Structure 1
């Protein structure tokens, strides 16, 4: 069981952070191929409101603070209300860079770094909700996490942001087997610098100066959205894949489904035994959520 090719036409997608930027560009493309989309965000840009109004009921909006698990847990019921079904594709797109109100440097928060709740906990929790929803409906699903090239690099000026993106990249790679066992594909797109208000707005002048932003180094939200569409729909990108989308390298596959260590281990005599022992308790949980009693063997 591997998701493989999955056309978005006629499918339902959830997009957190879909009210603006890269994720709004993905919403446009999804609607263009006749998918239905639930945007889960704090607010909508005027162009997003217009898009929903002109969608003939194929797009809906729910107010969602992704740092709150109760808001995330409400997504499946909102999908059901809007489209009378379960979502097939889940885009964890909402995120923040290294805002002064939640950063390593200024360290003003009392109990936690909210940036980690938004950038790290939200994609992981959304994946859990997606799998529970789709296993219960016995249907394949794709979860795409909007990560960053910061998933594999570092920045002295944005250590919390880089840590948050490293975490979700590691999570996606760890979940590669879910594609094989459960028809649940979890992948990451890793954009470089993208021409969004994060860099281009008047409010972002200081940030742009600090990081040396210029138009020549950036790509457009539409270029990232096209790569996201490709990752969602093409079996060329199995679970655990990371895809770079940056200036001069719009389709640079960073990771395949198995890490090099797994690939080497798979040639050893004990690998299949290790995999079976490692996966058995995980499959037991998935089987209960799917309503299956038989044990699924190694594929």
Structure 2
């Protein structure tokens, strides 16, 4: 199932910034065409699109609201029209749960669930349909999801976010047998990672004590994502293919935790992320106190969700 990305094509949602941008950049640096699907591009992503508008490996931006299923279908249509066959899909767009949610109390939806769960499920479904249409050529196909150590933990300050990442783990493991059809579904589970998902949320940054906690970089996570596509074995040390240290076999359903090292997450009796460097956010108490304060507010859950 290992696949060189050179000369292949990928769709990456949420690649206007963060982990998904780092993954898109790494893909194109290795000769892969990339369609970036996002609401907008941060400056670094705009530079990447402009730089690779032509050439052997191209990058195309498709403005996409991943909550809209028609726009997800259009994303595949544009990618196929630009590049032909698609080989790699990363439904990576995700959002964090602010202390004060911005969902409308009469909207009937949770945007966080639509983006973090429904969009990856629908994108995976569309990817499988596309892959099966091109089954006759025998090229392996890959779907790489982004989970989190939150998919193993419980966090009072962000219960819906935690639930969405548990859902991604369940989805990935449930689709493991697609490998018999030449489709490998895997995921990375990053630790405390320095992306806008953290840095744009002051209430989330309160959890991190820079004197104690270490940040995982988007590039470190992207390196492991590329390894999930290109390798059948991934080493504990990020980017190391020497085989000298612990090695984790990669197959459908594999979830690799990415802190400052790599660890395979077991389905049963897993010890959890623990306090490995890159996994700790030591100041949860302050955010939990704010959450209790909100619960004490008159009308919570009625006038404001």
**TM (normalized to structure 2)?**
0.76
* CA spacing shift, 1:208–1:62, aligned 2, 3 Å: same
The question of whether the paired residues in 2 share the 8 Å contact of 1:39 and 1:62 is answered with yes
The question of whether the paired residues in 1 share the 8 Å contact of 2:2 and 2:140 is answered with no
Q: Which residue of 1 aligns with 2:258?
A: 245
- Matched positions, count: 246
Query: What displacement does 1:235 show?
Result: 2.0
The question of whether the paired residues in 2 share the 8 Å contact of 1:130 and 1:141 is answered with no
Query: What displacement does 1:92 show?
Result: 1.1
Among candidates 204, 208, 216, match of residue 205 of structure 2: 208
Give 1:223-234 correspondences, 5 Å limit: 223-234=220-231
C-alpha distance in 2, partners of 1:196/1:136?
36
Question: Cα RMSD (Å) of the superposition?
Answer: 1.9
Query: What displacement does 1:213 show?
Result: 4.8
**TM (normalized to structure 1)?**
0.78
Give 1:41-52 correspondences, 5 Å limit: 41-52=38-49
- Partner of 2:265, secondary structure, is strand
C-alpha distance in 2, partners of 1:122/1:74?
14
Q: Which residue of 1 aligns with 2:219?
A: 222
The question of whether the paired residues in 1 share the 8 Å contact of 2:99 and 2:203 is answered with no
Residue ranges of structure 2 left out of the alignment (5+ in a row): 234-249, 270-305
Give 1:176-215 correspondences, 5 Å limit: 176-180=176-180, 182-201=181-200, 204-209=201-206, 211-214=207-210
Among candidates 117, 120, 133, match of residue 117 of structure 2: 120
Query: What displacement does 1:40 show?
Result: 0.4
Query: What displacement does 1:137 show?
Result: 1.2
The question of whether the paired residues in 2 share the 8 Å contact of 1:23 and 1:93 is answered with yes
- Partner of 2:187, secondary structure, is strand
Q: Which residue of 2 aligns with 1:70?
A: 70
